[in-house]
Amino acid sequence: MKKYILFLFTLILLSCSKDDFSEQSLESKIVVEGWIEEGDYAQVLLSSSIPVTDVIDSTNVLNHVIRSAKITISDGQTSEVLRVKNDKNRVPPFVYFGSALMGEAGKQYSLKIEYLDRVVEAVTTIPKSVQLKSAEYIKKSAADTTGYVFVYFDDPVNEKNYYQIATRIEGKESIFVPAFYGNLDDKNFTKSSVSVQVNRGVLLFPKTVFTPYFVDGDVIYVKLRTQNKETLDFWNSWQNEIVNSRNPIYPANTSLKSNIKGGIGIWAGYGQSTLVVKYTQKIEPI
């Protein structure tokens, strides 16, 4: 299987535009991509930032991976120190993971990272999950060999919700990738019954031509995440950099949003609901 790196480790930046580089400190920052989902355990990817003058490739990324930090998560009553495992299907291949503190909706989770003389902290909550009702693979014509996924769900009335849609293609991707334009604020919904076209998200490694559609034969896992406002703001700012500059390594005009104190990146809590879609339009809940 090909090795993949999701967005944040190609982000590994100094939170500044290239034009402003000469005015910024050269001190490396700790970059965090961490999450805990309802019904699952925490995972954290950790690195140090790469100077904007360096070449960004999988080899250089490996040189900036942090694998000797102490990472502690807590729900206020129970704490757990995460362990590190080697996942050869990912770049970087080192993931901090939990196995005792399972995510629960409505709970607040703190993150504390201790590395050398630095302490990095963040707090998040897990919103209540919203269930996907159905999902299907649709083509514009029978002759097409590509198509899009459409998902259907009911946005709870009188509740404020923010969503993210993510997909993973079996045999082609080892991680869930946030869909392009897949961050949703329910203030933009005109009714509680929601139908959304899912565009395939952007992976930066391996370097391939971006295509927003799926291909006949793909087995597609579709995940509807509920998230809080600061997580929505982070992913929207990330997406804006891709749209505006096509190069998230050098933000076009602003730093990415972050909820990490003492570092950059995101510590997110997600509710989640997942379906698997096959090109035959057969749908299997998992």
Q: Are 261 and 170 contained in the same domain?
A: no
2 in any annotated domain:
no
pLDDT digits (tens, 9 = 90+) for 229-285: 999 999 998 888 776 654 444 444 446 789 999 998 899 999 999 999 987 644 555
Quickly count helices (H) and strands (E) in the chain: 3, 17
pLDDT at 54: 52
Q: Are 113 and 251 contained in the same domain?
A: yes
3-state secondary structure at position 258 = coil
Rounded-to-integer distance, Cα 166 and Cα 181, Å: 10
pLDDT at 92: 67
- C-beta atoms surrounding 108 within 10 Å: 12
pLDDT at 19: 43
The residue behind tokens 């757990």 is 80
Q: Are 13 and 113 contained in the same domain?
A: yes
Q: Are 92 and 11 contained in the same domain?
A: yes
Rounded-to-integer distance, Cα 48 and Cα 31, Å: 6
pLDDT at 48: 82
Give Cα separations from 213 to 6, 69, 140, 277 (angstroms).
18, 38, 12, 14
182 in any annotated domain:
yes
Give Cα separations from 81 to 70, 84, 111, 181, 270 (angstroms).
7, 10, 10, 34, 20
Please list, residue by residue across 194-226, b when 16 or more beta carbons sit within 10 angstroms of its beta carbon and e when fewer do: bebebbbbbbbbeeeeeeebbbeebbbbbbbbb
How many degrees, rounded to 5, is the angle at CA 239 between CA 233 and CA 245? Answer: 130
Rounded-to-integer distance, Cα 179 and Cα 166, Å: 5
Q: Are 138 and 95 contained in the same domain?
A: no
The number of CA neighbours under 13 Å toward the Cβ of 97 is: 10
Q: Are 186 and 46 contained in the same domain?
A: no
Q: Are 105 and 243 contained in the same domain?
A: yes
Q: Are 56 and 100 contained in the same domain?
A: yes
pLDDT < 70 stretches in the chain: 1-27, 50-61, 91-92, 203-210, 243-255, 280-286
Count of domains forming the chain: 2
pLDDT at 184: 97
For residue 153, give its domain range: 132-225+274-285
